[in-house]
A = this chain, B = another copy of it.
Amino acid sequence: MGGTDGLFGKHNPLHVTFAGNTLRPYLFFHDAMDPQPGIVPRKIKGFRDIGPQMNELRWHIIRAAAGIYRLYGFEHWDTPLLEYADNLGKYLPDADTVEEGIYSFHNPEAEPMLAGDGREIRNEWDHVVMNRYYLALRYDLTAPLARLYAERLWNDSLKGGLSPDKAPLFRRYQYGPVFRYEYKLDPGRFREFWQVDFDTVGSSDQHVDAEACMILSRAMEAIGLPADSYQVKVNNRKILKGFLSVAGIPEQREDAILRVIDKLDKIGLPGIESELGKGRPDASGAFVPGLNLGQNELSRVMAFLEKFSGTATRTEVLSAIRSEKQMNNDLEEGLNELQTIHDVLNAWEMDETRIVFDPSLVRGMSYYTGPVFEVVSDLSYTDHRGRQRKVGSICGGGRYDGLVERLLGMKIPASGASIGVDRLAELLMMTGQYKASAAGPVLILVFDTTLLNEYHIIAHTLREAGIDTEIYFGAQKGLKKQMAYADRKNSPFAVLMGEDELKKGSVTVKDLRLGRETTDIKDKEEWKNRVQSEIPRDQLIGYIREHL
């Protein structure tokens, strides 16, 4: 067991020593009546089962987004769920625990240790040195893309046949689950969640970034968000960087300041001012230490943030930046790049309220090198515990040049964005903007088991007409139970046939949707007449089609 005991003991208040199989360790109980470890059916914390309604919504989002991505010339690629951890770019700790948000584990097989040029490393006796690499569940779809791109060009690069100006253009979209190991799970956060991404690798053109904003906006509308319910916010890291430098802030403090500014949405301008200054107590009462900026620097940063805190058109933001008294290279480059994006958006006649410029936008990930974008929704809703929750950021992206470089040793420009499928699904569900119907099948009730073959024939006919149909085969045969099953499955119709109907060549159809809606009718007979009809068997398809 080696390391397991030690790691186990760390979490166990009494350091009970386990030996042998961890699934059935030897436990030291005080008497023989103590319970034995059992298998309890359960999911891992932060993982979910997804039912038909949520699936309908999830796939609605994916189909809509992927359709827009394809419309802009992106191809559908897929990569493995599991990758070498070093390829994904997180350096792992020296114990086999999972930290830093990544689910990883030891490769079951030892493999040759490789040098940077791909050759096997040999020891002094000329034997290949073996290693058990860490494997990891992908934590996003961008790192695997960098691996895919780098892997395909690796040989060219080794042979010296590649340079950034010869880097092939690659535009792909991808969707699927990604994994984060988060110890503390806030409501609405999961360890497995879906993303639908598009990226362009091999182009440093700002038009690609403008396109990305446009694509995000169009995807939101294809998914069903009203045009006035979201905003695509755009910034360029160079503007923030340039401004901080102009404001006299030393470069080594930039990252810390950006991390504070990144919290603007959560803590507001006063919170930012405190955290850049002397610090402040947070919601739990704990004290958040401040960065202790000098008064002059602090007021310049705050003036900058306040200047852009109101809503303004893209044109207004551009002139506000241009009106800054002092400029430097970064500010000018950032401004020019935003200007290019603006020009392209104008060529598309994209109005100034859906895609906006926000010079205070940082957008978390430290690997972004230029334009960054984020889609935010202003909608809020009441969650199942009665708390008011804002949806906030639902997608984000930007330009990153370092991810491929890590693997290929060469700066390759790349830009793209990711839509958080599950968060968006939650937003649509909770704000009532998408009604997932998850309509179930027509249910043929088993009224008389001697007629089963007849039921099969009816079902077959309906299916041939493309109507989802199920014959009830549950263990509990009572008609009430069968109807309850139809309700659970959200069936639109139930079909009944007994000996009587068989002789007459008819079937009885219950309109279950009508039944679910019609609550104001007290009279049983009237209710029955409304929701139930006996019709000739050969008119069943027509009846259902007409009433669906």
A408: interface (CB < 8 Å)? yes
Q: Does A288 touch B at the CB level, under 8 Å?
A: no
A411 CB, min distance to chain B CBs, angstroms: 12
Q: Which of B35, B51, B75, B99 contacts A51 (CB 8 A)?
A: B75
- B11, A134: Cβ atoms under 8 Å? no
B residues within 8 A CB of A38?
114-118
Specify the main secondary structure of chain A where it touches its partner: loop
Contact A81 B78 (CB under 8 A): no
With an 8 A cutoff between CB atoms, is A379 at the interface?
A: no
A97 to B4, CA, bound (A): 12
Query: Chain B interface: which of A119-127, A393-401, A507-515, A534-542?
Result: A119-127
**Cα separation A491 to B50 with both chains bound (whole Å):** 37
Complex CA gap A171/B440 in Å reads 11
List, in ascending order, chain B residues with CB within 8 A of A105's CB: 96, 105-106
Taking a contact as CB atoms under 8 Å apart, the answer to whether B36 and A115 are in contact is yes
- The CA-CA distance from A453 to B44 in the complex, in Å, is 51
- Copy count, this protein chain: 2
Give the contacting residue for A347; candidates B12, B453, B485; CB below 8 A: B453
Measured in the bound complex, the distance between the Cα atoms of B13 and A123 in whole Å is: 11
A40 to B150, CA, bound (A): 9
Nearest chain B CB to A164's CB is how many angstroms away?
7
- When the two chains form their complex, are residues A129 and B16 in contact, meaning their CB atoms are under 8 A apart? yes
CA–CA, A406 to B20, complex, Å?
Answer: 23
**Least Cβ–Cβ distance between A511 and chain B, in angstroms:** 18
A457 nearest CB neighbor, chain B only:
B347
Bound complex: CA A348 to CA B87 (Å): 54
Instruction: Write out the residue numbers on chain B whose beta carbons fall within 8 Å of the beta carbon of A49.
Output: 77-80, 148
Query: Which stretch in A199-207, A308-316, A319-327 binds the other chain?
Result: A199-207
Residues of chain B within 8 A (CB-CB) of A344 are 452-453, 456
Closest-by-CB residue of B relative to A39 is B86
Q: How far is the CB of A85 from chain B (nearest CB, A)?
A: 8
Contact of A118 with B75 in the complex, beta carbons under 8 Å: no
Of B51, B52, B96, B485, the contact of A4 (CB 8 Å cutoff): B96
Chain B residue with the shortest CB-CB distance to A344: B456
Question: Please, which residues of chain B bring their CB within 8 A of the CB of A207?
Answer: 452, 456, 471, 473
